[in-house]
A and B are shown apart, each in its own frame.
Chain A
């Protein structure tokens, strides 16, 4: 692409040389999104520091019909931030101002490069926090969270990213700058803010985002219960959910995941348990205590063989540490694994897990299960040895079977990771040709030249090869996990 290279030099009118990367060595780190290993080389990476630079870059790309992709920290688990080949990557990490924090309205306006956890940090002096908590929250950015409508462990009660985004300023793929939403929790007219969330980068680049902040829960009750069978743990979830209690989090880990987590961080989980359930109640102290009396009685009836109740923050964090590090811990058992993100109706969790176990035996691949039981969001980790010939292909095939299983049960191919590159071939299993054509029509109006993160979510187009080898360095450090 010699012409493209010459064209790219023209971006030097917007960016100084140290923020316009176009040599092989400079581009290499941006080839993939690190956690999944689709690879694709962009023509250039620009390090934007101002909203105006982003707008100018998008307009430049539109004028020259050059595809672009906005990138935060590149933690996408669906290949969503793999560059468009020979396109421009607009890196947003430096576009990270906290524009305004309003403790009275309980909102904060941020630029897209602000790291998720940073939002809660700046809100903390006002006793506020930002609820969506994807496990990569130490490094993932708000721009990426918005584009992929990220979830976390507290979705059942608190919802996903889009439930916490109130307003957006964005540059559309043809350079028009639009504003919608605002500081109010309510709106009049179509919910454009909600529609923009989860667009997977197909609707241009968000430049400023108004986020809703919540008062920090004043009290928690965190309980870990161990069971002799996965079925018993699943039944406990059903019991809790139908009792009228609404826990902030309801998580399950299976035997393999428990073993891995214990070996890695010694969270105090019973090593011989077949499954553990983590339940957390949060909110106003007197209400939580009243709910907790019911919860304890319920758990006692569910046949748990060990129950641990966190007595303080330290113990609570210990229970959570095992859960949050489970994925990197599984990496100790097998350097290579694929993580899936399907959703099934909660009542069919047991059935889904039994089927996954059956498939695991057929394919002769170990599968560890760590999942958001409260909302039926599975995260099966398919372990394989990348050195063994054909193992990756077998693992991929198994992953595909699991996705189809979720669809056949009336669920979804993705709960919180997005479709990206990884699952776009499965979108037509969930939506009809007419549904997808409608999405295409909307996209064509918003991005007439198909240059904004093109090739993601919607079927069609060339996909880069899938090669997964080993843990990401940050996973090895336990900083990140794939959930």
Chain B
């Protein structure tokens, strides 16, 4: 029997708090661009945050921006661009309609995280409704702050299960004046990984460093264009490849498509997997055998895997366990979006008990293989 799911659409934070106080099994939704996180299962209710939207405070001089959770990433990026700034963690799915709250709750960063860090490194403050229905403030609005427990970081990747984000403040940076990308085909995965390892070991400021298996590297640099010829030449010499330059429209389009996962089928599944360089070869071989599409981002600290059939997800789950890796399903049919080895559940359960003892929001579980 499938119980009816309700979709709440609060217009105000107070209204959202009342919904939290009066209901259970709530699943927050922003833009709905990550359906595995935002689509309700039986007996769950959606809190659609899209009306709680708008930029609250933006001071270009301070490098900070505060906005309500339902504000789209696109709106924020447009406001920042007017002042030559950007979100350095390079949030994905902006064109698809991702929101600030959804991106933070999912803990997602794009290829640009390579340069300065991921979303957890840029969130400064949050306001969220906890399971008691209280509106709680954590962190602050200045770029540096060490007062109180770091709720902003806790909310990065919290999947709407520790509280309902209503507002967030981020540190922003000046956007590079120009960018250019060098595409190099290293011929094989092993060669490409050697290339990444080499580039990682040098003090070369890359805006992005992605790998599309088996061996294509996309190396993006940014800054003043007058520095590019020398820097590109150096990269070509280091990698002993001429490669091909992507510039202007072609370049920005390539990265836009990467961030929108244009290479994956919207009907299929998409999984984010935090990765380490040492595990890529073994992991990639298995994914290749399953016939799945992959993209290794940001110097291979992050892998995106996509496929058409969600029946592959249990296989990925057990393979992730065997490699002691974790995955997060963004699209695809799953009861629980975390795959593989979940770390720190003992600690997380205590936090959950403090913030949401009555399960107003969904709970954290053991993953498929752990419970079997």
- Using a CB–CB cutoff of 8 Å, the interface residues on chain A facing chain B are 103-106, 126-128, 148-149, 151, 155-157, 159-160, 162-163, 172, 176, 178-199, 215-219, 238, 241-246, 283-284, 286-287, 289-291, 294, 343-347, 372, 375-377, 410-419, 423, 427, 430-432, 434-439, 441-446, 457
CB of B137 within 8 A of CB of A431, answer yes
CB of A159 within 8 A of CB of B61, answer no
CB of A191 within 8 A of CB of B347, answer no
In residues 116-134 of chain B, which contact A (Cβ within 8 Å)?
116-118, 120-121, 130, 134
Known A-B contacts A216-B203, A238-B61, A376-B142; the reply to A195 vs B153 at CB < 8 A is yes
Q: Which residue of A lies closest to B275 (CB)?
A: A184
CA distance A155 to B93 in the complex (A): 29
Which residues from chain A contact B289 at a C-beta distance below 8 Å?
Answer: none
Report if B204 contacts A (CB, 8 A): yes
Which residues from chain B contact A377 at a C-beta distance below 8 Å?
Answer: 144
> What distance in Å separates the Cβ of B1 from its nearest Cβ neighbour in chain A?
31
Which residues from chain A contact B282 at a C-beta distance below 8 Å?
Answer: none
- Using a CB–CB cutoff of 8 Å, the interface residues on chain B facing chain A are 59-63, 84, 107, 109, 113, 116-118, 120-121, 130, 134-138, 140-151, 153-159, 161-162, 173-175, 177, 197, 200-205, 221, 223-224, 226-227, 230-231, 234, 272-278, 298, 301-302, 324, 326-328, 338, 342-344, 346-348, 350-351, 353-355, 364
Known A-B contacts A184-B301, A430-B147; the reply to A286 vs B227 at CB < 8 A is yes
Which residues from chain B contact A436 at a C-beta distance below 8 Å?
Answer: 148
CA distance A435 to B139 in the complex (A): 10
CB of A431 within 8 A of CB of B350, answer no
CB of A286 within 8 A of CB of B230, answer yes
CB of B59 within 8 A of CB of A347, answer yes
8 A-B pairs besides A127-B201, A185-B113, A290-B223 with CB distance below 8 A are: A172-B350, A182-B343, A187-B274, A189-B364, A412-B146, A413-B147, A441-B354, A442-B354
Which residues from chain B contact A188 at a C-beta distance below 8 Å?
Answer: 107, 157, 272-274, 326-328, 338
CB of A287 within 8 A of CB of B177, answer no
CB of B276 within 8 A of CB of A105, answer yes
CB of B144 within 8 A of CB of A195, answer no
CA distance A291 to B130 in the complex (A): 45
CB of A195 within 8 A of CB of B147, answer no
Q: List 25 A-B contacts (CB under 8 A).
A: A149-B150, A155-B143, A162-B150, A185-B113, A185-B118, A189-B338, A190-B162, A194-B156, A195-B149, A198-B146, A215-B203, A218-B202, A242-B60, A244-B174, A244-B175, A283-B205, A286-B231, A294-B224, A344-B142, A417-B146, A418-B146, A419-B148, A435-B138, A435-B148, A438-B134
CB of B134 within 8 A of CB of A434, answer yes
CB of A178 within 8 A of CB of B223, answer no
Most chain B beta carbons < 10 A, residue from A195, A291, A347: A195
CA distance A197 to B139 in the complex (A): 13
Which residues from chain B contact A219 at a C-beta distance below 8 Å?
Answer: 203
CA distance A3 to B231 in the complex (A): 70
CB of A372 within 8 A of CB of B144, answer yes
CB of B347 within 8 A of CB of A412, answer no
CB of B157 within 8 A of CB of A191, answer yes
Partner of A427 from the list B142, B147, B161, B348 (CB cut-off 8 Å) is: B147
> What distance in Å separates the Cβ of A209 from its nearest Cβ neighbour in chain B?
14
CA distance A103 to B276 in the complex (A): 12
CB of A148 within 8 A of CB of B154, answer no
CB of B347 within 8 A of CB of A192, answer yes
> What distance in Å separates the Cβ of B358 from its nearest Cβ neighbour in chain A?
13
Which residues from chain A contact B159 at a C-beta distance below 8 Å?
Answer: 189-190
CA distance A347 to B347 in the complex (A): 39
Q: Which residue of B lies closest to A457 (CB)?
A: B148
CB of A126 within 8 A of CB of B201, answer yes
CA distance A114 to B250 in the complex (A): 48
CB of A411 within 8 A of CB of B142, answer yes
CA distance A218 to B205 in the complex (A): 10
Partner of B107 from the list A187, A294, A372, A414 (CB cut-off 8 Å) is: A187
